[in-house]
Structure 1
Amino acid sequence: MTEPDRSRRGFFVSLEGIDGSGKSTQARLLAERLRATGRAVVLTREPGGSPGAEEIRRLLLTGGADRWSPETEALLFTAARRDHWERTIAPALGRGAVVVSDRFADSTRVYQSVARGAPAELVDALHALVIGQEPDLTLVIDTEPAAALARGIARGTDEDRFETMGLPFQERLRTGFLALARRWPDRVRVVDGTRAPQEVADTVAGLVLAALEGR
């Protein structure tokens, strides 16, 4: 398993949430805030974040809802994540940078297992064997599923495969993300995403800066 040099290791933050929760905006605002403090920051995303993973992204986020089974999705997401880890995240952490990722392994736990029904044992085993790493801090941007889904659909991109699965799917996702905070209370924090974006950004930045200063 590829790991960054522990003597120089940076800090790894992931942002999670349902489709349309605003986490991508918050990831960008967080990266800007951290750069303003003089820190080296790598802003990245999943699926994607490296050339190979971006190719897999197109397979996962386009097409019909029934294009892949949840088990196949888990395999594809894990393959993309491995490439992302090897080529982007681990090298950045080894340089001492702060990595801000729009999604990481928690999304697979929630989307493919909780919401889509892939066995949790499969998802956890794939992660343990192929990735074996967790973020230092995960922030779940929590918002109301109907409003978030409307925003996601309004974006009008062709990467809307999960949005087409409907409101009940988004509600299951929210339940799954909130359960993460109960499962990993030391790593996962829930942030109220129903507020104005700048208010959310202030909360996000405060949590991350406190974690950085407390290391």
Structure 2
Amino acid sequence: MSYIHTPIISSMKLHRVNTITAMKLEIQSRKLIKPSVSTPLTLRHYKISLIDEFAPTMNLPLVLFFPPSLDNNPTLIVQLEELLKKTLTNLYPLADRYMEDTHTVDCNNQGVEFIQARPDITIQELLIKKTNLHLVNELIPSKLLASDLNNAMLATQVTTFQCGGLALGVSSAHRIGDVSTMITFLNQWATLTRKDTKLGFGGIDFTSSSMFPAQGLLPLGGWEGRGIPPPQM
């Protein structure tokens, strides 16, 4: 699990320095965010590649921290939802579900889980050195995507702290992407929030299966877990 934060602690006075060992997190809402434009039928079935087949069955979690802002935007959450729709239009496989029987992602615009949460502490209290950093796991979407029956590819969580600080947690399935894919997703989402930017979106080339066709193999560790001998290469 990774987390990134800006150095906000040294510039702010902390009145509580006790060790934080627990955090009460209230889930305010859960919803599915679908792409703003439906995926064409010609792209309905995204085939994974041989490289994807070998990817371990795991999730890639990341948390980004943002300090309290003097320019508090009360519509920020709504904007993030709307811009997530546009982001998923370009990165359409992330919005759907993996089908194990066909080794494909069913690109049927089922949507990405978008969670809003609020803890009972401030962002400063969470990030001080004495805090139990395992609490950061609470800021990541709780659904274990890789083992979920729906085989979702991505989930997001926006956590708003008492002080006005914010944490953006993302968890993506390794089945169709790696850290580079996640960074591309976050960069695209962030780019859309900057209305004055002239940056374009280079996109992701979802054609790896044409170069490295899938062979129906289990992911790393999958053979032992099912009592099946590994293939002879």
Same fold (TM over 0.5): no
As a proportion of its length, which structure holds more strand?
Answer: 2
Structure number with bigger Rg: 2
As a proportion of its length, which structure holds more helix?
Answer: 1
